[in-house]
Amino acid sequence: MAIKFKSKVGSIISEMAEALVLPVFEDTKTLPGPLDVVDRATKGLIKNLLLSGDFLGERYKTFMLYPQRALSAKRIVLVGLGKKEKFDLDVMRGAGGKAFHYVRDLGIKTIHLPEDILDAKGFSASELLEAFLTGGSLGVYQFRDLITTGREKIKEVDECVIVSQKKERTIEMVLRHVTILREAVYIARDLVSLPANKKTPAMLALHAQTIAKNNTLKCRVITEEQAQKMGMGAFLAVAQGSREPAKIIILEYTANRNFGPPLVIIGKGITFDSGGISLKPPDKMEQMKDDMAGGAVVMGTMQAAARMKLPLNLVGIIPVTENLPGGKAYKPGDVLTSLSGQTIEVISTDAEGRLILADALTYAKRYKPKAIVDLATLTGACITALGDYVAGIMGNDPALLSKVKAASEKTGEKVWELPLWEEYFDYLKSDIADFKNVGTRVAGTITGGMFLKKFVNDTPWVHMDIAGPTWYEKDKPYIPKGASGFGVRLLVQFLKDWSK
Ligand code: BES
Ligand code: ZN
Ligand code: ZN
């Protein structure tokens, strides 16, 4: 069960509530809006607290007060926003995450919030509400599907009620928007959290078909036999080592034929990356179930685009397979003929992501797309370069890259551009084929990008290496440790901006 949003006309004084949540700036001199209303009704409860110094509105600090029948609410939960000068929407999301988390851990199931949740210069009321609710609903995510014992102890917030003085359409729109985003991010997080034995390519294809059926999307699944006929030699080589039949999932969202050719989003879908014959070391290998995160992000984004009825046409392509060693597995030294006709010398079977993406990129060109964005947990080198919380982006079109960066700034999912200068291609030169799938040890993320570029040519394209931010090792204010769903909100924002 996931959190449901509701709006209700009423007053925060007289509304029955288990927990009325209010964000507070640090060093608040005059209490704004709802804080003032509550303070007056409680004869200075909040002012006294701030004077005491026990809680000053420090960023992400929470504090609970009992209004003792001065309000109909049983508890007031304050969450600090820190200093006004440092405030932005990401702080608002973080505060939402912290507040919802705090309430959830108390075992409380319903949260109440005033509609005019905060007054902050430069931000509209609905923007602030949206950020708080987004952070809140993403912050209380947990993946407990596979736990059977002690389920009764799992705490969950069921409901969040927005209290407003009169019925307002903008509130309904915010609630709907946040719900769609939340569901899309949860799709990605759930899929990435699942272990590989519970998300085989066939299972993911079924899942995509269900998403399609529920959301007026079209879904097609390309089988290995069909891929063979088309000549997808790079994709099939990776699939060869696994007994699980590989699939390429295609999801199509057509808002209107008049909008012309689609945008294409492609996601790497390796359900388990053992490295293949170039076997990975066993330490942390279990983590390689998250190597389909790009594909999971594409699935979530496709659903969101359809539910938001975005005015554009969109295609999602997800090549899905395991990468395993075995008697039939592809080997270092093998030369593959890709769908594009270009030949590839395999140096490492662990650089499999770029191989399946190569054929997916070539296939994408059939749509004559306006632009292509691919997302992939492609290189460990990207984590070395940028750390755990930042994606590397590369591309062939400065305007498209700017659009991705602009979306990233709005959603707080950080990206950093790396160059794709032609001389980097020297690392991929092969004596026996058109190029190799791996260079030397240097510039690992960039050579991955350079490899993909060979299959894109002129279509405006951005590649996003999400190896770092796909999985959080530590709790962040609104992203619990584990699968983050990184990329879903960014892509949805990018598509919204595109369609404007
Ligand atoms: N899926 C991995 C990349 C990865 C590694 C993601 C660690 C997250 C954490 C990818 O398929 C891979 O193995 N890449 C190799 C590339 C190398 C052989 C050029 C890598 O990063 O070591
Ligand atoms: Zn690999
Ligand atoms: Zn991989």
Buried b (16+ CB within 10 A) or exposed e, 190-208: bbbbbebeebbbebbbebb
Q: With 0-12 CB in 10 A as exposed, 13-18 as middle and 19+ as buried, what is 337? A: middle
Is residue 274 lining ligand 1, measured as CB closer than 6 Å?
Answer: no
Residue 211, phi then psi, degrees to nearest 5: -60, -45
DSSP-assigned letters across all residues of 288-324: GGGGGHHHHHHHHHHHHHHHTT-SSEEEEEEEEEEE-
Whole-angstrom Cα distance, residue 462 to residue 265?
Answer: 10
Is 229 catalytic? The answer is no
**Predicted local distance difference test score (pLDDT) of residue 1:** 66
Say what the pTM is: 0.98
Measured distance CA(305)–CA(298) in Å, rounded:
10
**Hey, what amino acid is at 307?**
R
Instruction: Quote the ligand 1 centre to 351 CA distance (angstroms).
Output: 6
Residue type, position 12, single letter: I
Rounded CA-CA distance 434/342 in Å is 6
Is 354 noted as a catalytic residue in this protein? yes
Cβ(291) to ligand 1 under 6 A? yes
Nearest atom in ligand 1 to 350's CA: 13
Residue from 455, 417, 484, 204 nearest 316 by CA: 204
Indicate which atom in ligand 1 lies nearest the CA of residue 291. Answer: 1
Distance from C-alpha of 472 to C-alpha of 479, rounded to nearest angstrom: 8
Separation of 307 CA from ligand 2 center, angstroms?
34
| Atom of ligand 1 at shortest range from CA of 448 | 19
Tell me the DSSP string of 183-237. HHHHHHHHHHHS-GGG--HHHHHHHHHHHHHHTT-EEEEE-HHHHHHHT-HHHHH
Per-10-residue mean pLDDT for the chain, 500 residues long? 92 96 92 94 96 97 96 97 97 98 98 95 96 98 96 95 93 98 98 98 98 97 98 98 98 96 99 98 98 99 98 99 98 99 98 99 98 99 98 98 98 98 98 97 97 97 99 98 98 96
> Could you give the CA distance from residue 379 to residue 369 in angstroms, rounded to a whole number?
26
CB neighbours of residue 389 within 10 Å: 17
Catalytic residue among 354, 405, 453, 496: 354
Residue 437: the pLDDT is 98
CA distance 119 to 141: 27
Domains along the chain? 4-181 (3.40.220.10), 199-499 (3.40.630.10)
φ, ψ of residue 420 in degrees (nearest 5): -120, 60
355 touches ligand 1 (CB under 6 Å): no
Nearest ligand (C-alpha, residue 437): 1
Measured in angstroms, how far is the CA atom of residue 270 from the centroid of ligand 3? 6
Please identify, by atom number, the ligand 1 atom nearest to the C-alpha of residue 468: 8
Pairing of strands 247-254, 313-323: antiparallel
Q: Is 159 in a helix, a strand, or coil?
A: strand
Tokens 């001389």, residue?
Answer: 423
CB 271 within 8 A of CB 289: yes
385 CB near ligand 1 (under 6 Å): no
For residue 233, the one-letter residue type is G
Ligand 3: centre distance to CA 345 (Å): 17
Distance 192 CA to ligand 2 centre (A): 16
Structural tokens at position 251? 């999801």
Tokens of residue 115, six digits: 């509609």
Which tokens sit at 204? Answer: 């993911």
